[in-house]
Amino acid sequence: MKLYLFLQSRVPKPLAVVLTGLWFALLIVLAFFFANEPQAVFRYGNI
């Protein structure tokens, strides 16, 4: 949302929509493509 509001004030609205959409598509791809990476042990003390 912040990204969209930022872009909207600087570029035409349709372009802001497309760029925000592309950004979220990239994040979704990254999240799901690398979701099967072996989990690093989350060792921040014994919490």
Partner 1 sequence: MDLISFTWLVWIGATTLLFWILPAKLRFGWLLAVTCLFLLTFEPTSLGLLAVLTGTTYFLTKGPRPDGKRVALAIVPVAALLFGYKIFSASQGDDLVTTGVIPLGLSYYTLRCIHYAMERYKGAIRDLGPWDLLGYLFFIPTIFIGPIHRFPEWRRDKSRHRWDSEMFSEGLERILHGYVKVAFFGNFLVSDQFASWSEDATTPGSAQELYLEMIRIGLNLWFQFSGFSDLAIGFARLLGFRVMENFNWPFFQRNISDFWANWHISLTSWSREYVFNPTIAVTRSPAAGALASLIAIALWHEVSVRYLVWGLYHGLGIVVWQKCRPLWGKLPQVANRFGQHALHGLSVLVTAHFVLLGFLLVRQEGFGEIIDALQIFGTGWT
Interface with partner 1, residue 17, by CB under 8 A: no
Interface with partner 1, residue 37, by CB under 8 A: yes
Quote the least distance from Cβ 9 to partner 1, whole Å: 17
Interface with partner 1, residue 10, by CB under 8 A: no
Interface with partner 1, residue 9, by CB under 8 A: no
Interface with partner 1, residue 15, by CB under 8 A: no
Residue 27: partners with Cβ closer than 8 Å, 6 or more residues away: none
- Cα(4)–Cα(32) distance, integer angstroms: 23
